[in-house]
């Protein structure tokens, strides 16, 4: 609690700081809330201004100058707080953007590497299977593939089934590799 809370103003008036605090605290907090929505922050700002006022005595002509000091100080503290919040928000947005870019970067690397690994496995397939599968991946129907390669429709189906079976085993191994890599991150 404040002891010896009287301050003599130049005009001869006495200001009881403790009584002034109790009389004006709610109003000053309300004033601060016009700048900042969080009432707890407003209360902290008003308390900080009162503390600064009490710890560093200033010379005031009258009560109006004291109140002017408080309104100006509270406004400035609120604006400083808002500026600081903007800086923090900018930094937070920058970090989020960086995280998104890094995540995108790594996801693209993974996508391209996975594609390359699958394509590498497709190229290792026997030639007939590879041709059937590549045409299938280009959205050719089974009958179009059979006609283009001059093979039976049942052969197309068999070659696709065998190719998918071989690739599924290889891709499962790739998924295990990627899963273990993500767990290691």
Q: Is the pLDDT of residue 181 over 70?
A: no
118: enclosing H helix or E strand:
helix 63-123
Average pLDDT over residues 31-54: 92
Per-residue pLDDT band at 89 (split at 50, 70, 90): confident
Label residue 3 by pLDDT band (50, 70, 90).
very low
Average pLDDT, the chain: 83
Q: For residues 84-106, give the mean pLDDT.
A: 79
Structure tokens at 54: 């009490």
* Band (175; pLDDT cuts 50, 70, 90): low
Q: What is the pTM of this model?
A: 0.51
To the nearest 10°, the Cα dihedral for 117, 122, 123, 124? 90
In this structure, of 12-26, 37-51, 122-136, 170-184, the range with the lowest mean pLDDT score is 170-184
Span 81-85, average pLDDT: 91
Residue 13 has a pLDDT of 78
């Amino acid at each position: 609690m404040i002891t010896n809370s009287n301050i003599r103003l130049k005009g001869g008036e006495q200001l009881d700081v403790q009584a002034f605090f109790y009389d004006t605290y709610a109003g000053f907090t309300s004033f601060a809330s016009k700048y900042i929505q969080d009432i707890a922050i407003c209360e902290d700002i008003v308390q900080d201004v009162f503390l600064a006022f009490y710890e560093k005595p200033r010379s005031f002509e009258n009560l109006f100058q004291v109140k002017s000091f408080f309104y100006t100080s509270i406004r400035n503290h609120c604006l400083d707080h808002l500026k600081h919040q903007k800086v923090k928000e900018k930094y937070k947005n920058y970090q989020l953007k960086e995280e998104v870019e890094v995540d995108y970067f790594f996801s693209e690397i993974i996508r391209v590497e996975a594609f390359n690994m699958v394509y590498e496995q497709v190229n290792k397939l026997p030639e007939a299977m590879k041709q059937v599968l590549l045409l299938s991946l280009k959205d050719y129907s089974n009958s179009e593939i059979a006609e283009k390669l001059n093979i039976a429709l049942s052969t197309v189906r068999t070659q696709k089934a065998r190719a998918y079976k071989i690739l599924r085993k290889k891709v499962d191994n790739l998924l295990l590799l990627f899963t273990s890599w993500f767990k290691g991150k």
